[in-house]
Amino acid sequence: MTNMLITIDGPAGAGKTSVSRELAKRLNCIYVDTGALYRGVALEVKQAGIDWEADAVLEPFLNRISLSFAMEGEDPVLTSSGKNISSLIRTPEISMLASAISARPCVRKALLGLQHAIAKNNDTVFEGRDMGTVVFPHARHKFFLFADLDTRALRRFKEKQAPEQDLVQVKEMMESRDANDAGREIAPLTPAKDAVLIDSTHISLEEVVQRILLEIHRD
């Protein structure tokens, strides 16, 4: 029997994380936040102070870092070589660096194997930007969540991940990250042709979850 594989893609603030975690709970799957992995790479690169724009520097560096993502009870935990770095990756600086670094082919390649290995051994809900298009093009259940920019920015602002930023700054950063993620050549943020598109602007988390469950159980 093949493992259950559900992909949830979309821009920041569309509700991917809340929806994916809830789905994983109800379907008894594990949940993987692939954005956290890109953030982990960004943090390691920042802390090491390497010249990440040079492949000759970045590639061997990627071979030396070892990231893993798991839920500990209700908490998502990202570790790098066994060290918990979860509380360090949610800053505006790391968001922007993750977005820049994730456009590099060697970074995407390095994380591809990790994502495939997780899917091989577990029933999984994966959230990210390219889950349905590149990482798991054959997944049976693909969803793309989106919402208008003002709504997404307000949601993120209310989470107070970056208390020093006002709503306008949160919105500007989100817009810039959307443009990077959708405009890059490799694995751009775009719905898979066979993904179910869900606009979460005016509907609740529970409604999104119900729509997804309906689609999954329809098959």
Which residues make up the interface to ligand C5P (CB under 6 A)?
A: 12, 34-35, 38-39, 95, 98-99, 102, 128-130, 177, 181
Could you tell me which residues are beta bridge partners of residue 6?
Answer: 125, 141
10 labelled binding-site residue: yes
Considering the complex, what minimum distance in angstroms separates the CB of residue 128 from ligand C5P?
3
Residue type at 27?
Answer: L
Q: Which is nearer to ligand C5P, 47 or 210 (CB)?
A: 47
CA separation for the pair 10, 61 (Å, rounded): 29
Q: What is the closest distance, in whole angstroms, from the C-beta atom of residue 62 to ligand C5P in the complex? A: 15
Phi and psi, residue 144, nearest 5°? -130, 115
Nearest distance from residue 80's CB to ligand C5P, in Å? 15
Distance CA 205, CA 32 (A): 18
Output 61 or 126, the one with its CB closest to ligand C5P.
Answer: 126
Least distance (Å) between residue 124 CB and ligand C5P: 13
Residue 69 belongs to what H/E stretch? strand 67-72
Residue 17 marked in a binding site:
yes
CB of 99 to ligand C5P, least distance (A): 4
3 state SS for 133-197: HHHCCCCCEEEEEECCHHHHHHHHHHHCCCCCCCHHHHHHHHHHHHHHHHHCCCCCCCCCCCCEE
Q: Which is nearer to ligand C5P, 61 or 115 (CB)?
A: 115
CB of 158 or CB of 210, closer to ligand C5P: 158
20 is in an annotated binding site: no
Question: What single DSSP character describes residue 88?
Answer: G
CA–CA gap between residue 218 and residue 210 (Å, rounded): 12
Residue nearest to ligand C5P (CB): 35
State yes or no: 124 annotated in a binding site: no
- Cα gap 171→154, rounded to integer Å: 8
Is 119 part of any known ligand binding site? no
For residue 16, say whether it is annotated as part of any ligand binding site.
Answer: yes
Identity of the residue, 113 or 218, whose beta carbon is nearer to ligand C5P in the bound complex: 113
Residues flagged as binding site for ATP: 10-18
